[in-house]
Amino acid sequence: MRVLGIESSCDETAASIVDDGKVILSNIVSSQSALHAPYGGVIPELACRRHVEVIIPVINQALSVANTKLSDIDLIAAAKGPGLIGALLIGLNAAKALSFAMDIPFIGINHLEAHLYAAMMDHLDHIPFPALGLILSGGHTALVHIDNLGSYRVIGITVDDAIGEAFDKVASMLNLPYPGGRYIEELAKTGDPYKYSFSAGKCKRNPLNFSYSGLKTNVLYAVKGQNSHKNSPLIIDESEKQHIAASFQRAAFSDILNKTLTALDQHMYRSIILGGGVCCNQNLNAMFTEAITTLPIFWPKPNLSCDNAAMIAGLAYHKFRDSKKADSFDLKVMPRIPALI
């Protein structure tokens, strides 16, 4: 089954052709990072306008790289949520329009489930379940109990900022480019991770929940002074930034690792599956690999970590094959999906 996947939930317009859930024939991503960089974050209205401009060229490029025609496509899938409402609408409506015009079945896909699927794609036949899932992206942070592909229970979420968002905001405080996760990683390589005693927040109601707003404020006060705000000038030297980056990264990832270890203590998980843009971070990979030696850890490949449409097309194959059902054109975008549905 040949699937066209479309992704437009935030600031990437992406299209991909995937055969049978795992053979990626093309994976085109048009990133809007440069457009939003001057603002230090995604401006929804600008994101929507750019999606409208590039969605058809991106789909055409995905078809052409895959050397395939729209009439060869068996299923069209698009991210239905969570994400920015206007941005999601553009991808979902493009998928519905193509589906209607070409009489090809259409299906909406949960973007977060697709992030987890990215790591499962090549290994589905030999992933031991139940697995502990970790979604670490710019918009979400979650621990997920996975009984099988399609069967999930969220056991921990962030109560404020997402992990990637915290990286981006700290990067912005240090005057690094947006999105700043990879610049923090780079800067942290030469820094002392214990120079500053930063730590992530604790969540009394659910110890598996995450909180990064206090950590962000810790960093703000260290770099701009007590009671400063985000536009205050830096009070640290340039040479200090590496230590701030390393100490922040250590605090953020120790928190994720500790919560992962707590979840592993609570249940007999047989593997770990990670997804989302923050999984590109090699320091995170090294910390997990060193601390967890008794379970297989499945990471998404670098080109499948950040937002992409191959994960949408790949997952759609399984959803459609298992349910034998297309979605109706009444399907609405779901900017905030409470669970992994």
- β-strands 297-298, 271-275: how paired? parallel
Q: Which stretch binds ligand KG4 (CB under 6 A): 41-49, 57-65, 96-104, 181-189?
A: 181-189
> Residue 337, class by beta-carbon neighbours within 10 Å (0-12 exposed, 13-18 middle, 19+ buried)?
middle
* φ, ψ at 28 (rounded to 5°): -100, 130
Tokens of 32: 């809007």
Q: Within 13 Å of residue 338, how many CA atoms lie on the same side as its CB?
A: 0
Which of the listed partners (Zn ion, ligand KG4, none) does 168 bind, with a CB threshold of 5 to 8 Å by partner kind?
ligand KG4
Q: How far is the CB of 337 from Zn ion (least distance, A)?
A: 13
Of positions 40, 276, 300, 314, contacts ligand KG4 by CB under 6 A: 276
Q: How far is the CB of 232 from ligand KG4 (least distance, A)?
A: 23
Q: How far is the CB of 82 from ligand KG4 (least distance, A)?
A: 9
Q: Which of 101, 8, 82, 3 is nearest to 332 (CA)?
A: 82
In the bound state with ligand KG4, the residue whose beta carbon lies nearer, of 104 and 212, is 212
In the bound state with Zn ion, the residue whose beta carbon lies nearer, of 83 and 156, is 83
Are 269 and 131 in contact by the 8 Å Cβ rule? The answer is: yes
3-state DSSP assignment of residue 145: strand
Of positions 12, 185, 307, 327, contacts Zn ion by CB under 5 A: 307
Are 177 and 168 in contact by the 8 Å Cβ rule? The answer is: no
Contact string (CB under 6 A) for ligand KG4, positions 120-149, x = contact: -----------------xxx----------
Report DSSP state, residue 215. Answer: H
**Per rule CB under 5 A, is residue 165 in the interface with Zn ion?**
no
**Per rule CB under 6 A, is residue 269 in the interface with ligand KG4?**
no
**Per rule CB under 6 A, is residue 32 in the interface with ligand KG4?**
no
**Per rule CB under 6 A, is residue 193 in the interface with ligand KG4?**
no
**Per rule CB under 6 A, is residue 81 in the interface with ligand KG4?**
no
Which of the listed partners (ligand KG4, Zn ion, none) does 183 bind, with a CB threshold of 5 to 8 Å by partner kind?
none
Q: Is 158 left (phi over 0), alpha (psi -120 to 50) or beta?
A: beta
- Residues 188-200 as b/e (b if ≥16 CB within 10 A, e otherwise) read beebebeebebeb
Which of the listed partners (ligand KG4, Zn ion, none) does 273 bind, with a CB threshold of 5 to 8 Å by partner kind?
none
**Per rule CB under 6 A, is residue 30 in the interface with ligand KG4?**
no
Q: Which stretch binds ligand KG4 (CB under 6 A): 23-31, 117-125, 175-183, 262-270?
A: 175-183
Show contacts with Zn ion in window 95-114 (CB under 5 A). Answer: none
Tokens of 10: 């935030």
Q: Which of 51, 55, 98, 91 is nearest to 75 (CA)?
A: 98
Beta bridge partners of 247: none
Residues in the chain: 341
- β-strands 297-298, 75-81: how paired? unpaired
Of positions 106, 152, 167, 298, contacts ligand KG4 by CB under 6 A: 167
Of positions 8, 13, 137, 242, contacts Zn ion by CB under 5 A: 137
**Per rule CB under 6 A, is residue 300 in the interface with ligand KG4?**
no
Q: How far is CA 142 from CA 26, 44, 229, in A?
A: 29, 23, 28
The residue behind tokens 């055969």 is 19
Q: How far is the CB of 249 from ligand KG4 (least distance, A)?
A: 8
**Per rule CB under 6 A, is residue 164 in the interface with ligand KG4?**
yes
Of positions 5, 91, 108, 179, contacts ligand KG4 by CB under 6 A: 179
Q: Count residues near Zn ion (CB under 5 A).
A: 2
Are 154 and 142 in contact by the 8 Å Cβ rule? The answer is: yes
Are 171 and 302 in contact by the 8 Å Cβ rule? The answer is: no
Residues binding Zn ion (CB under 5 A)? 137, 307
Residues binding ligand KG4 (CB under 6 A)? 10, 137-139, 164-165, 167-168, 179-182, 185, 276-278, 280-281, 306-307
